[in-house]
Amino acid sequence: MRESVIKHTGAVEISGGISGQQRKIWNVLLGFAYSDILFREEHTISLRLLAVMLEYPRSSYERLKEDLQALVETVVAWNILNTSDSNREEWNVCTMFSGVSIVGGTVTYSYHPRLRKLLHNPPKYARINLSHQLRLKSKYALVLYELCESYWREGSTPLIPVEQYRAMMGVGAMEWRDVQKRLIKEPIEQLHHSTPFRLTMQTVKEGSKITHIRFAIQKREQVRFQA
């Protein structure tokens, strides 16, 4: 059973209306497909194993199917921070999966050919610990955790325009005080409790308006987490 998944940073920096649980599903399935993603059109995993890894009880299999369908139907924009190591601006639009089927207890899923190329051997990546993601109960904390895994080696995230940060979190217009409480303060508290990361927010203002944010990141070693 895989403990982590290598995830292209562009796949972390997405906008789209997927839930936190759907993001976890996508990460787990990417982990199982990763080694063959460039060479195989379809990948398989047992429905029972997928449910166990995501802590779905048998009574929630229908909910799991609904989440898989949502991932097939959801169109997302990739790499909205434009932080590629190359000098070219790169922007992509795709669905999370091109197709999913369940036959005889086996889940078969596939990615768009363009997406397979993006995900294979990424120049910049996040290594997502699947145990850490399972501890995070909010979608916002999960997105912030993936940003930490992408940028902790640099010591901080890039400067992120507030509107793009909201887009990554999947929310529309929101007052700064609500952004600060719901999308920053509460997720950071979850990360401090459930992951090795410690974050400090920095802000940039134009006049009295906060326009950009950045997170300074520290990663602790050998941390014990409460159940």
What's the pLDDT at 100?
97
In terms of phi and psi (left: phi > 0; alpha: psi -120 to 50; beta: otherwise), the region of 55 is left
How far, in Å, CA of 84 to CA of 68, rounded? 29
The packing angle between helices 162-169 and 139-151, to 10°, is: 120
Q: Is residue 25 part of a domain?
A: yes
Give yes or no: residues 111 and 73 share one domain: yes
Q: Is residue 64 part of a domain?
A: yes
The domain of 211 spans: 136-219
Give yes or no: residues 80 and 176 share one domain: no
Q: Is residue 226 part of a domain?
A: no
Give yes or no: residues 68 and 154 share one domain: no
Give, rounded to a whole angstrom, the gap between the first and last alpha carbons of the chain. Answer: 21
**Low-confidence residues in the chain, pLDDT < 70:** 1-2, 4-16, 78-90, 121-126, 222-227
Give yes or no: residues 144 and 189 share one domain: yes
Which residues have CB under 8 Å from 79's CB, separation 6+? 9, 10, 13, 14, 90, 91, 92
Give yes or no: residues 51 and 161 share one domain: no
Residue at which a domain ends, from 91, 125, 159:
125
Q: Is residue 212 part of a domain?
A: yes
DSSP 98: S
Q: Is residue 224 part of a domain?
A: no
Give yes or no: residues 207 and 99 share one domain: no
What are the structure tokens assigned to 204, written together? 């940039």
Give yes or no: residues 70 and 110 share one domain: yes
What's the pLDDT at 40?
92
Could you identify the residue written with the tokens 């940060």?
165
Give yes or no: residues 213 and 142 share one domain: yes
Give yes or no: residues 111 and 169 share one domain: no
DSSP letters, 207-218, are TTEEEEEEEEEE
Q: What is the pLDDT of residues 30-42, one digit of tens each?
A: 888 988 888 899 9
DSSP 155: T
Q: Which residue, among 126, 184, 120, 193, has the nearest Cα to 154 in the 3D structure?
A: 126
Give yes or no: residues 155 and 184 share one domain: yes
CATH of the domain at 113: 1.10.10.10
What's the pLDDT at 1?
47
What's the pLDDT at 87?
55
Q: Is residue 131 part of a domain?
A: no
> Which residues face 109 on adjacent strands?
43, 100
Report the domain count for the chain: 2
pTM for this one? 0.78
What's the pLDDT at 20?
87
Q: Is residue 227 part of a domain?
A: no
What's the pLDDT at 66?
92
